[in-house]
Amino acid sequence: MSGLTALRIMHVSTPPPETDLESLAILATIAQTSFFGRDMQTLSARDAKYNFGRLIDTARAEPVTVEKHGRAVVVVLAVEEYERLKTIELEQHAKAIGSGDKK
């Protein structure tokens, strides 16, 4: 099963989030777990700061985890990937509302 298929299955099986913050946390977790079956690039906050151009270039190709004090704090991804994930989320939300499920 490809990472993309796993992403869709995971998103469908997750109950609708209560807040936008929870929604973004779910998207970050999904992105961090697997991106097309590979581990994501990881940068320290310091490396991200001093190599911002590299961060942007890498994030356009695949999501990048940025760590602070050894703990993942954000995932940076291309706007196209973010929009694709938001579209999936909105479709699932619309489907849940259409089937009578409550948020």
What's the pLDDT tens digit per position in 71-90? Answer: 999 999 999 999 999 999 99
* Partners of 65 in beta bridges: 42, 75
Q: What is the pLDDT of residue 24?
A: 63
pTM: 0.57
The residue that leads in pLDDT, 41 or 20, is: 41
At which residue do the structure tokens 């807040």 appear?
19
Q: Which residue has the tokens 């299955």?
A: 9
Average pLDDT over residues 48-59: 94
Mean pLDDT over residues 21-46, rounded? Answer: 67
Residue 1 pLDDT > 80, yes or no? no
Q: Mean pLDDT throughout 42-56?
A: 95
SS3 category, 68: strand
pLDDT band at 53 (very low <50, low <70, confident <90, very high): very high
- CA-nearest of 96, 100, 98, 99 to 18 is 96
Question: Taking a C-beta distance cutoff of 8 angstroms, is the pair 93, 85 a contact?
Answer: no
Question: pLDDT at position 81, please?
Answer: 93
